[in-house]
Structure 1
Amino acid sequence: MTSHSTVFLYGTLCDLTLLEIVAGEAVFASPATLGDHAVFWAKDQSFPIIVEADGETAEGILVEISAAAKARLDFYEVGFGYYLLPCTVVQGEAETAAEVYFAEPRRWTPGALWSLTDWQSKFGILTREAARDYIGLYANKTPQEAAQLFGQVRNRAASRLRARMSPSPSAFDPSPTREDVAIKSSHRPLMDFFDVVEETLQFQTFAGGRSNEVQRISLLGGDAVTVLPYDPATDQVLVIRQFRHGAFSRGDANPWCVEPAAGRIDPFETPEDAALRELREETGVVARDLHRIASYYPTPAAVSEHLTSFVATCDLSGKDGHIGGLAGENEDIMSHVIPFSLLMDLVQSGAANTGPLVLSALWLQNERHRLG
């Protein structure tokens, strides 16, 4: 006989669509309350905490879930410091014994009173999208290991949502769409800091038929930006160097690549916001103006990453030799301020060995006359 647990939920899992994604099965829920408690947003976060509050009443739902579903809910909650504790809730007129996910003491600070409706409006779509991938880590990660990867999972989910909302413009007619691809099988052989998807599929051919079944493997990464700083007063640019594992794994004897500043676009961030933030974090430079070059797939045959590249006009005085990056991300980034003419020499020699830098240099070669 399968055992069941009775759990009182008060936060994001009151969204029944999210709850069933996490639980992996249909869940029956009924309204319930927990006395002398209140639910608040965790300060500066997108989720709630429940705290003791005399005379207050926390509203939520009561669910009875299987052992398998409870294990999945534990996985979803424990990595972020939430643990089940026994309590007594009120369902209708009756008191019922249940368990509640309480946050570790002092881990999160209470903010404003929680609103499920506000959360659903602002964060619901992204959280549901991310949860479908996050729960896929259940098979091979501890809750704590998975929680360390949550930011990457969420960024990839945000990238998919951007792609759906703003697909690439069509260059030619007639133009096939995703509906013209038939997926026969799909699985994730690796889900970690990066994600890998392996699929067998057929796609529409230009002759009007279907391709043979083909196997394709892609590395999934979030959307990102690059930004090349340019000082029109001195006709200088700032490029960075940092260790790159891709170049190292290829066997390059010089895996410290020359690049523009770059980084992931956070959820709810625009590419422009991300470019300004990454420029400050990696180089200490504050941009005066941003000039968009293009948005593009650098390696669409096998990598989902989508880039937006910018040139930023700025004052580069005192920035040569700056060591930047976030210690929490193990970044070690050296800035070099060089004449624009030297940048073009680096492009010609191949020392400028990253695609976004070459693209940005060629754009700047044509456009810098108007940036002064």
Structure 2
Amino acid sequence: MTSLFVFGTLRHVPLLARVLDRDPDACGTRPAALPGHVAAAVADEDFPLLVAEEGARAEGLLIEGLTAREMARLDGYEGDFGFHLREVRVETPDGPAAAHAYFPEPGRWRTDGAWDFEGWVARWGEITALAAEEVMAAVEKGAEPAPPFARKARAWARIRGRAGAPQELRAPMTR
């Protein structure tokens, strides 16, 4: 069993549930922070990464009791962004705890200020959670997932499709 500190998009419970393929509350999720780091926005992207910053605290969740299958799914999801696991020590309300966290490949991404979790949830949360279903299906099959823009476009179309089509003719062009 493994413990993981999540600081970014995986704090969004609907996304985490799809990636883990189970209810995240069933695995001992609790608030945690990684001292000396901040969740920084990635330039021109919709996700953050951990950046070392003296005196900062990256807020997040500690997920305990992850199985090998769940870690493989998480690796498949985070590997799409070039993130790799590192051991960290996080602070929790119950004291310090050992965990792992995903860090980016050095030099792969440029940062652009602080990342706003609530703003991300409002704009991208539902789309990203739906797109994750496609990623996780590919991970389970050992296949390469479609590019992020394609997954998000399909997820956005699913969301828009829920509204249905107009029920009355508004233009005389088809008469």
Instruction: Tell me if both proteins adopt one fold, taking TM over 0.5 as the criterion.
Output: yes
Aligned-partner residue type, residue 19 of structure 1: L
Distance across 1 between alignment mates of 2:122 and 2:24: 22
- CA offset at residue 171 of structure 1? 5.7
Deviation for aligned residue 1:152: 1.8
Q: Say if 2:40 is the partner of 1:43.
A: no
Match of 1:61 in 2: 61
Given residue 19 of structure 2, which amino acid in structure 1 is its aligned partner? V
CA-to-aligned-CA distance 1:215-260 (integer Å, 9 cap, x gap): xxxxxxxxxxxxxxxxxxxxxxxxxxxxxxxxxxxxxxxxxxxxxx
Please give the alpha-carbon distance, in whole angstroms, between the structure 2 residues aligned to 1:127 and 1:35.
27
Alignment of 1:94-105 (within 5 A): 94-105=95-106
What amino acid sits opposite 1:20 in the alignment? A
Paired positions, count: 166
Is contact 2:31–2:92 with CA below 8 Å preserved after alignment? yes
Percent identity (aligned): 32
Q: Which amino acid aligns with 2:42?
A: A
Partner Cα separation in structure 1 for residue 14 and residue 161 of structure 2:
22
Match of 2:147 in 1: 149
Distance 2:103 2:111 in 1: 13
Residue by residue, what CA displacement relative to the aligned partner does 1:109-143 show, whole Å, maximum 9, x if unpaired?
Answer: 1112112111001111111111122211112235x
Q: Which has the higher contact order (CA 8 A, sep 6+)?
A: 2
SS of the counterpart of 1:85?
strand
Are 2:73 and 2:140, in contact at CA under 8 Å, matched by a contact in 1?
A: no
Specify the alignment match of 2:92 in structure 1: 91
1:162 corresponds, among 155, 160, 163, to: 160
Q: Distance in 1 between matches of 2:152 and 2:122?
A: 17
Aligned-pair CA distance for 1:33: 0.7
Give 1:8's aligned residue.
5
Q: Is the 8 A contact 1:134 1:150 kept in 2?
A: no
What displacement does 1:169 show?
A: 2.3
Partner Cα distance (2:44, 2:2) in 1: 32
Q: Match of 1:90, SS?
A: strand
Instruction: Give how far 1:18 is off.
Output: 0.8
Q: Secondary structure at the match of 1:170?
A: coil
For 2:109, the equivalent position in structure 1 comes to 108
What does 1:258-337 align with in structure 2 at a 5 Å threshold?
none
1:58 Cα deviation after fit: 0.7
Partner Cα separation in structure 1 for residue 111 and residue 148 of structure 2: 22
Segments of 5+ residues of structure 1 without an aligned counterpart are: 173-293, 295-372
Q: Give the Å deviation of 1:42.
A: 0.5
SS in 2 for 1:117: helix
Q: Which runs of 4+ in 1 moved over 6 A?
A: none
Aligned partners of 2:155, 2:94: CA distance in 1, in Å? 41
Q: 1:151: Cα distance to partner? A: 2.3
Query: Which residue identity does 2:2 align to in structure 1?
Result: S
Max radius of gyration: which structure? 1
Partners of 2:49 and 2:155 in 1: how far apart? 24
SS at 1:40 equivalent: strand
Can you list the C-alpha shifts for 1:6-27, whole angstroms capped at 9, x where unaligned? 0000000001111011100122
Give the letter aligned to residue 136 of structure 1.
Answer: A
8 Å CA contact retained: 1:25, 1:69: no
Corresponding residue for residue 31 of structure 2 = 31
CA RMSD of aligned residues (A): 1.7
Q: 2: distance between equivalents of 1:119 and 1:137? A: 24
Contact 1:40/1:113 (<8 A) preserved: yes
User: What amino acid sits opposite 2:148 in the alignment?
Assistant: F
- CA displacement at 1:69 relative to structure 2: 1.1
Equivalent residues in 2 for 1:337-348, closer than 5 Å:
none
Deviation at 1:106, TM superposition (A): 1.2
2:15 to 10, 15, 18: 18
